[in-house]
Amino acid sequence: MVRSSGSYYSALKRITRAANSAYGLRKTCNFIAKNSARAMKANGCRILSLNPRREYLISVGTYGLSDLYLKKGPLDARRSLPDILEGKAVYIADATRDDRVQHPEVALEQGISSILGVPILRMGEAIGEIRIYARERRQFSEAERNFLFSVADVCSVVFERAELQQSLDGDREARARQRRPSPVSAVPVPTLRPATFAHPSEEDFARLLDFYCIEWLYEPRSFALRWEGGKIAEMFTPDFYLPELDIYVELTTLKQNLITEKNRKLRQLRELYPEVNVRLLTKSDFHKLLAKYGYGPLGEAKVEGVDRVLYSHAQIQRRVRTLARRISRDYGDERLVLIGVLKGVLCFMADLMQHLSLPVTVDFMAVSHYGGDGQVVRITRDLDSSIAGKHVLMVEDIVDTGMTLNYILGHLSAHNPASLRVCTLLDKRARRLLDLPLDYVGFEIPDEFVVGYGLDYKGEYRNLPFIGVLKPGLVKNEEPR
């Protein structure tokens, strides 16, 4: 979609005026992102800053992108459109299939198709980038690329001005009080994934986070706590940052007198950086946290038999919200009846209906399987209310062979609903015997036995907050779901 040069000129005038204003960094970058996206008739824009060690990218300005997309985890500079940091413009025609996109599954969920990214340069070296997002597949003209490069040049000046202002403010306040920090610590950011940890407890904690698919950064930021002569005299570096939860974690297995010193630093950090969420975990706290998730010496039974986590609780919730938005959009103002089969669908149904923005009623059924192969289905609990003339959404936890679902849909169709669609959290297509239309699908999973988030094995594991795969050889005489 080509715009006139006058449109780009007007947008650049507004952008440069904002860059020369008294706005803070984020407000300025948000304004720039908004005007850039509008000038290019795009759906979204994101301005990113490269961390000092050139390992990952931090959002400093956005427009038109959902919280789900922005909170998908840190962007690894080596995996997310890496050629941009070599000083090149990068065009992605289909973000859901291009291996240069770090999170193609999230792009698919959010309906993002094409991306154009250019570097933000300082003295020929990339210090960040600006990206334009389009929901429809589209080409970007030479004029659009040139416009985005011009915006990137303005962003470079904005970054430099913010750093200068931060330095001046820090010097001024340090002289005045010698203890108040500048808004953002200028201490270089350490590694994203360390080769070695400072203490075995850190490695155990990282292993726990990896098991539950929780994003983490190791020692991602140092906070200045005290100044002497305008220079940093004391600082504090938490062990971990969990971007998905926006929390810093400091682990300690030290003696009580040393824990007291850490607590002093934490109190000081909270006073100086009230927006920062930080927790200190002692050895006892650490073991309790492990036990809470069924991991470690106090609580191994809860996940005994789970080989690995397939989808974390946060990943499930993001997908449920995406499905709810699609369903709400498709049905508009229509009243909807949600029908689920007990018991596995309980968690999914409860979360899904909370995010629907249309009037709904809920009903449940129960079925039993007979025969050695589970191919004979009988309804043991039918609906409480009539669905004749109503819009019905059949909500399933998992569809594998499709035989049970086929039987239930036939039963529901006989009640003459106005419409009948299917929403399933999990689709195990590899085991499909009957090719049924699924209107809304959360995740397509491999041919493995999964538990958690309502799904059970012999009545257990339903209460796990994630979806995990049972260890090979544990499952015997698996029935179709």
Active site residues: 400
Using CA atoms, how far apart are residues 167 and 303, in angstroms rounded to an integer? 50
Ramachandran angles phi, psi of 397, nearest 5° = -75, -45
Using CA atoms, how far apart are residues 441 and 39, in angstroms rounded to an integer? 35
**DSSP sequence for 197-212:** -SSHHHHHHHHHHHHT
The burial of 347, by beta-carbon neighbours within 10 Å (0-12 exposed, 13-18 middle, 19 or more buried), is given as: buried
Helices 313-331/346-354 angle, 10° precision: 60
At 161, is the secondary structure helix, strand, or coil?
Answer: helix
Alpha carbon 295 to chain centroid, angstroms = 23
Question: And the tokens for 464?
Answer: 């796990």
Q: If you compute the radius of gyration of the chain from its CA atoms, what whole number of angstroms results?
A: 26
Question: And the tokens for 287?
Answer: 């073991």
The DSSP 8-state label assigned to residue 230 in this structure reads: T
Given a contact cutoff of 8 angstroms between Cβ atoms, the answer to whether 452 and 438 are in contact is no
At 173, is the secondary structure helix, strand, or coil?
Answer: helix
Q: How far lies 3's CA from each of 135, 144, 145, in Å?
A: 18, 8, 12
Among candidates 235, 276, 284, 231, which has minimal Cα distance to 259? 284
Question: And the tokens for 427?
Answer: 């689709």
Paired with 132 in beta bridges are 45, 116
Using CA atoms, how far apart are residues 260 and 266, in angstroms rounded to an integer? 10
**DSSP sequence for 249-290:** EEE----HHHHHHHHHHHHHHHHH-TT--EEEE-HHHHHHHH
